[in-house]
A and B are shown apart, each in its own frame.
Chain A
Amino acid sequence: MKRPPANTIAVLGTKFRGRVGYRVNPVGLIGLAIIVAWTVVALTAPLIIPHSVGEIVDFDYFGPMSRTLWLGSDYLGRDMLSRILMGARYTVGISLAAVAIACTCGVVLGMTAAVTGGWVDTILSRLLDALNSIPSKLFGLVVVAAVGSSIPVLILTLSVIYIPGAYRFARALAVNVNTMDFVLVARIRGESLFYLIRAEILPNILGPVLADFGLRFVFIVLLLSGLSFLGLGVQPPYADWGALVRENIGGLPYGAPAVIVPSLAIASLTISVNLFIDNLPAKIRDKEEH
């Protein structure tokens, strides 16, 4: 897809040259900063939480924001800030694991299909397209109904759901590279499939594939939160951000911060990933839309 010549957001800030040698504009940097912040929180959560996640610290439930409990208390009177900081581990961790599996499998299969061609390509594309025509939330529901919801199952399900998308994207890019002369030369040299994929195709599609990785991460975070919200994702005693919204949905009529803040946490993560990718230099991001 051809991109509009003027990137609307890129116009907003004055561009400057980052250390990597690419132009990254301020909006993109803000996005990156938020992503890094959540990653640090996810890694260090047990060290920085003010209260234990299970400890009941407030006599009132759905308490408001206060000096001692910055984000109020949840439906049992537990500290919301601690629960959100710990929730970052599950949301970020599970999504990252799932997206890594999905993109690795999808990209490897996509490149293989593009390079091999013929019936391998046809069968892979048909099968994965069929998988793609199951709505993602529904797929999650069916699998959870069948095998229950544990963290490894969740990671695997989420990655299976997003393999077809990654495959399609990588295949479309790889097909273009595959027609280049240097690939033909490598073929004539008699290089193996593995060499062609690793040395000729992958380096030439890496930028867009990484941008796609980010977008797919957002989809997975949203789907995981959705499933957890339906009570089919991360199970108690653990809680990711979606599960936190579900637990505290009873506080909605009172406008309790316990319902609003986890949603805001999800939104801050997904929006900053989107902003970061939207503001990547066109050189990397090229053809990021499917």
Chain B
Amino acid sequence: MNKRILSLAANRLAIALITLVIVSFAVFFATTLLPGDTATILLGQSATPEAVAGLRTAMHLDDPAILRFLHWLMGLAQGDLGTSYANNMPVAALIGGRFVNTLKLAAITAAIAVPLALTLGITAAMWRGSVYDRAVTILTIGIISVPEFMIATSAVLIFAVYLKWLPALSFTNEVSTFYDILRVYAMPVLTLTFVVSAQMIRMTRAAVVETLSTPYVEMALLKGASRPRLVLRHALPNALGPIVNAVALSLSYLLGGVIIVETIFNYPGIAKLMVDAVATRDLPLIQTCAMIFCLGYLTLITLADILAILSNPRLR
């Protein structure tokens, strides 16, 4: 590893940090656009003007927006996430367990989706133009073109309504045996795996196919290397960078998918919490959830960029 790579990576990190500040700015101001006075909403219609004024001062609502933004940002940086409007609990306490739940869902999905997508993508590229390749391509285009909730509802229809293997649209916390865990996670994970894999397969296939059109692969072909050897030995090591990049990018699709999946399967995760918070207009909770999602998304994108830099042999 040399200085050039370090500086490029540091550059990416700095950009990510600046982006994070801009994003937090956007999230804060979008949520404070709310028409109606927060203090009045909190205290109800019958509150006295003095009480409202008192709460406004206590919550710094009369300060200029930029000060409130800085105040909020400092709080976030110090781990003070604020207090939920809806039930007066610290946001951190509300989020804690649910965050773990969402991470669990994401981790299981990634553990299944990544190997699956890489296998399908690489083999599709290996037998490019075959019936198998066409089937994979059409399937992935199909999945990308439909909304996530359609995949989820189809999964429910097939596995719960027609086959009756799994419970429909219900989520219980009474998971004791391995079989229970399997039953509970099967459909959310299945849906998310579909959503994430489709992108990953497409990008992996494209990366390998692109490497296959380089002169050194042609050389290998001319010297008589077999198709699998051509792909696995000559093309794959050089496509690794783009593939790892694709994996990180595709995993960021988890975020969009997880919002729908947690809602439809009633999974007690952070995305469901946020959708509920939107319904009750619980701003601190929305802000924090939004920041967590943005942070996760940004981490994955930055990781993808840095991995792409690291895997470029010309920079090494």
The answer to whether residues A274 and B133 also contact, given A230-B263, A263-B150 and a CB cut-off of 8 A, is no
A9 to B275, CA, bound (A): 39
**Per-residue 0/1 for B194-208: is the Cβ within 8 Å of any A Cβ (1 yes, 0 no)?**
000000000000100
The dominant DSSP class at the A interface is helix
Q: Are A145 and B281 in contact (CB under 8 A)?
A: yes
Which residues of B117-134 have CB atoms within 8 Å of chain A's CB atoms? 128-129, 133-134
A73 at interface, CB cutoff 8 A: no
B278 at interface, CB cutoff 8 A: yes
A260 to B137, CA, bound (A): 24
The smallest beta-carbon distance between B112 and chain A, in angstroms, is 22
A9 to B22, CA, bound (A): 42
The smallest beta-carbon distance between B206 and chain A, in angstroms, is 7
Q: Are A274 and B169 in contact (CB under 8 A)?
A: no
A255 to B256, CA, bound (A): 26
The dominant DSSP class at the B interface is helix
Q: Are B278 and A134 in contact (CB under 8 A)?
A: no
Contact count band on A? 35 or more
Which residues of B98-149 have CB atoms within 8 Å of chain A's CB atoms? 128-129, 133-134, 137-138, 141-142, 144-149
Point out the residues of chain A lying under 8 angstroms from B255, CB to CB: 135, 137-138
A42 to B210, CA, bound (A): 41
Point out the residues of chain A lying under 8 angstroms from B137, CB to CB: 8-9
A147 to B31, CA, bound (A): 8
Which residues of B243-300 have CB atoms within 8 Å of chain A's CB atoms? 252, 255-256, 259-260, 263-264, 274-275, 277-279, 281, 283, 286, 290, 293-294, 297-298
Across the interface, name the chain B residue whose C-beta is closest to A225: B147
A67 at interface, CB cutoff 8 A: no
Q: Are A142 and B286 in contact (CB under 8 A)?
A: yes
The stretch that binds B, out of A13-21, A166-174, A264-272, is A264-272
Q: Are A133 and B19 in contact (CB under 8 A)?
A: yes
Q: Are A255 and B162 in contact (CB under 8 A)?
A: yes
Mark B residues whose CB is within 8 Å of A: 15, 18-19, 22-23, 26-27, 30-35, 128-129, 133-134, 137-138, 141-142, 144-150, 153-154, 156-157, 160-162, 168-169, 206, 209-210, 213, 252, 255-256, 259-260, 263-264, 274-275, 277-279, 281, 283, 286, 290, 293-294, 297-298, 301
Q: A5-B213, A133-B23, A249-B264 are in contact. List 19 more A-B contacts (CB 8 A).
A: A4-B213, A8-B137, A134-B23, A135-B294, A135-B297, A138-B290, A142-B30, A142-B286, A142-B290, A225-B147, A226-B148, A226-B256, A230-B260, A231-B279, A242-B149, A249-B169, A263-B147, A266-B147, A274-B144
Mark A residues whose CB is within 8 Å of B: 1-2, 4-6, 8-9, 11, 126-127, 129-131, 133-138, 141-148, 218, 222, 225-226, 229-232, 242, 245, 249, 252-255, 259-260, 263, 266-267, 270-271, 273-275, 278, 289
29 sampled A-B residue pairs with Cβ under 8 A: A1-B210, A4-B209, A126-B19, A129-B19, A130-B26, A131-B22, A133-B23, A133-B298, A134-B294, A134-B297, A135-B256, A138-B255, A142-B290, A145-B286, A146-B33, A147-B34, A226-B149, A226-B259, A230-B263, A249-B169, A255-B157, A260-B153, A263-B149, A266-B147, A267-B145, A270-B146, A271-B145, A274-B145, A289-B206
